[in-house]
């Protein structure tokens, strides 16, 4: 069944699905949906979005991308008309009307459950890939203190107008931030000093992708689960080397610089560096930008890792700088996005999102190791001295580098992204 048989033409246009006529077949591409971030920030606080040429110009909120216009089907499913994916509305697995620790499942349970899951006549549900799951993240959320005990004024990283959500079940000894959702992507390597088998998941409480060790404190790590169905091409890249030091992803219409910045910079410097490259008409274009969090994560190749392919987690068409990591290993950088990782503090703009294309290092049990996996999304302070974080930061003592790398992106199929007014 092709897309025109499956959906009326009007629905195809509404969904924003790109159809390419290749021979006699129709191929459905997908949209790299927006993060929904609408506010601009400096190194600490929200600011008026700056003009071109000014400090902090070029951040996420200043570029229009396709949003995720959700449709509530009023049958406990939600359709994302930008991606063509249909989602289970709630992670209330046991159907008791509450979302709590009792609804969580192990990876094996979640995977097996998809085979027998039925909802409103559909029997083709699956556990989402990490790219499908991350398509739902909403960066209007605010990252809570991991030790917080009150969630009443917090904003999660998922659109609760459409999806049911709950923070961690504190009545069952969970933290507020324990709202991790399972993907189907096992890390191709292992994490932590104990070399744990690891599953990637999205935490809609704190706005991160992490690899979670499945042997959690001697037991099985459990997750919230929402099954998905629909567009089987979502997250599948189709890269073309343009032989001019650029690479185009035919499925998203994004053009990427083949080389990265070759140096680390703090967030403000990174935004300024992009403006400089545009003033130089780098590679024949002057509309480059720093990718937002979703564009950047969509670039990850989750079949690759430093320990299994001796490479960054990215298609080998791309040229990736090497670094020495905190364990003095040859490794690959963290890359800045243009997205601020808003915090539920008095200075909400202090951190920005990055994606780890090399090992996501942390210092657990006094040992530096890959604690979350290549392909994780975490955040760093936008400014400061990395030496002040010699022991890492947070529950897994995440490595704090601050001076991260940049990979440029632009829209290949249309003029430069329109600035938001």
Burial 242-280 (b: 16+ CB within 10 A, else e): eeeebbbbbbbbbbbbbebbeebbbbbbbbbbbbebbee
Nearest Cα to Cα of residue 208 among 107, 137, 113: 137
Residue 30: its pLDDT value, please?
78
Residue 198: its pLDDT value, please?
98
* From 130-144, 212-226, 259-273, 397-411, the region with the lowest mean pLDDT: 212-226
Residue 215: its pLDDT value, please?
87
Q: What are 342-401's pLDDT values in tens digits? A: 999 999 999 999 999 999 999 999 999 999 999 999 999 999 999 999 999 998 999 999
Residue 291 has pLDDT above 50, yes or no: yes
192 CB-near residues (< 8 Å, 6+ apart):
213, 364, 369, 370, 371
Residue 416: its pLDDT value, please?
37
Region 145-160: what's the mean pLDDT?
92
Q: What are 88-134's pLDDT values in tens digits? A: 999 999 999 999 999 999 999 999 999 999 999 999 999 999 999 99
Nearest Cα to Cα of residue 261 among 237, 247, 282: 282
* Angstrom distance (rounded) from CA 207 to CA 138: 8
Residue 414: its pLDDT value, please?
52
- Supply 57's token pair: 């110009």
The whole-chain average pLDDT of the chain stands at 91
Which has the higher per-residue pLDDT, 17 or 86? 86
Residue 140: its pLDDT value, please?
97
CA 104 to the chain's CA centroid: 22
Residue 274 has pLDDT above 70, yes or no: yes
Residue 21: its pLDDT value, please?
34
Residue 66: its pLDDT value, please?
67
Residue 2 has pLDDT above 70, yes or no: no
Contact status, residue 344 vs residue 144, Cβ threshold 8 Å: yes
Binning pLDDT at 50, 70 and 90, where does residue 148 land? confident
**Distance between terminal CA atoms of the chain?**
42
Residue 64: its pLDDT value, please?
75
Which has the higher per-residue pLDDT, 147 or 107? 107
* Angstrom distance (rounded) from CA 103 to CA 384: 41
Region 187-199: what's the mean pLDDT?
96
DSSP tag of 270: H
Residue 193: its pLDDT value, please?
94
* Angstrom distance (rounded) from CA 148 to CA 178: 11
Neighbours of 25 (CB within 10 A): 8
* From 68-72, 285-289, 342-346, the region with the lowest mean pLDDT: 68-72
Binning pLDDT at 50, 70 and 90, where does residue 54 land? very high
Residue 11 has pLDDT above 50, yes or no: no
Region 137-156: what's the mean pLDDT?
93
Neighbours of 89 (CB within 10 A): 18
Residue 15 has pLDDT above 70, yes or no: no
| Element at 363 (helix H, strand E) | strand 361-364
Residue 33: its pLDDT value, please?
87
Residue 299 has pLDDT above 90, yes or no: yes
Where residue 365 falls (left for φ over 0; alpha for ψ -120 to 50; beta otherwise) is left
Nearest Cα to Cα of residue 358 among 345, 344, 369: 369
Q: What are 211-256's pLDDT values in tens digits? A: 999 987 667 999 999 999 999 999 999 999 999 999 999 999 999 9
* Angstrom distance (rounded) from CA 271 to CA 332: 21
Contact status, residue 191 vs residue 371, Cβ threshold 8 Å: yes
């Amino acid at each position: 069944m092709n897309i025109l048989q499956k959906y009326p033409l009007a629905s195809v246009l509404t969904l924003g699905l790109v159809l390419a006529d290749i021979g006699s077949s129709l191929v459905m591409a997908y949209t790299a949906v927006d993060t929904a971030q609408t506010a601009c920030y400096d190194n600490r606080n929200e600011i008026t979005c700056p003009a071109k040429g000014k400090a902090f110009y070029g951040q996420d909120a200043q570029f229009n991308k396709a949003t995720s216009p959700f449709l509530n089907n009023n049958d406990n499913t939600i359709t994302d008309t930008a991606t063509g994916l249909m989602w289970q509305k709630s992670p209330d697995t046991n159907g008791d009307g509450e979302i709590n620790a009792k609804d969580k499942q192990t990876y094996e349970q979640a995977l097996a459950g998809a085979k027998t899951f039925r909802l409103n006549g559909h029997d083709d549900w699956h556990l989402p890939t990490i790219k499908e799951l991350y398509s739902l993240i909403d960066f209007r959320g605010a990252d809570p203190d991991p030790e917080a005990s009150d969630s009443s004024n917090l904003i999660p990283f998922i659109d609760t107008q459409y999806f049911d959500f709950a923070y961690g079940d504190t009545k069952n000894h969970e933290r507020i931030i324990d709202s991790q959702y399972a993907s189907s992507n096992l890390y191709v390597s292992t994490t932590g000093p104990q070399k744990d088998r690891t599953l990637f998941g999205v935490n809609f409480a704190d706005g991160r992708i992490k690899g979670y060790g499945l042997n959690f404190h001697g037991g099985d790590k459990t997750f919230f689960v929402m099954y998905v169905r629909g567009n089987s091409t979502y997250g599948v890249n189709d890269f073309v080397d343009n032989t001019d030091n650029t690479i185009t992803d035919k499925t998203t219409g994004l053009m990427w610089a083949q080389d990265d910045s070759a140096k680390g910079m703090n967030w403000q410097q990174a935004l300024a560096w992009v403006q400089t490259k545009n003033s130089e008409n780098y590679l024949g274009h002057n509309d480059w930008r720093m990718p937002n969090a979703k564009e950047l994560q969509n670039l990850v190749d989750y079949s690759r890792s430093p320990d299994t392919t001796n490479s960054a987690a990215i298609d080998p068409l791309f040229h990736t700088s090497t670094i020495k990591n905190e364990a003095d290993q040859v490794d690959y950088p963290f890359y800045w996005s243009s997205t601020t990782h808003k915090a539920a503090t008095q200075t909400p703009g202090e951190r920005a999102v990055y994606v780890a294309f090399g090992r996501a290092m942390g210092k657990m049990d006094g040992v530096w190791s890959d604690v979350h996996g290549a392909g994780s999304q975490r955040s760093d302070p936008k400014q400061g001295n990395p030496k002040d974080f010699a022991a890492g930061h947070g529950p897994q003592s995440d490595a704090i580098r601050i001076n991260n790398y940049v990979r440029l992106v632009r829209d290949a199929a249309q003029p430069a992204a329109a600035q938001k007014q």
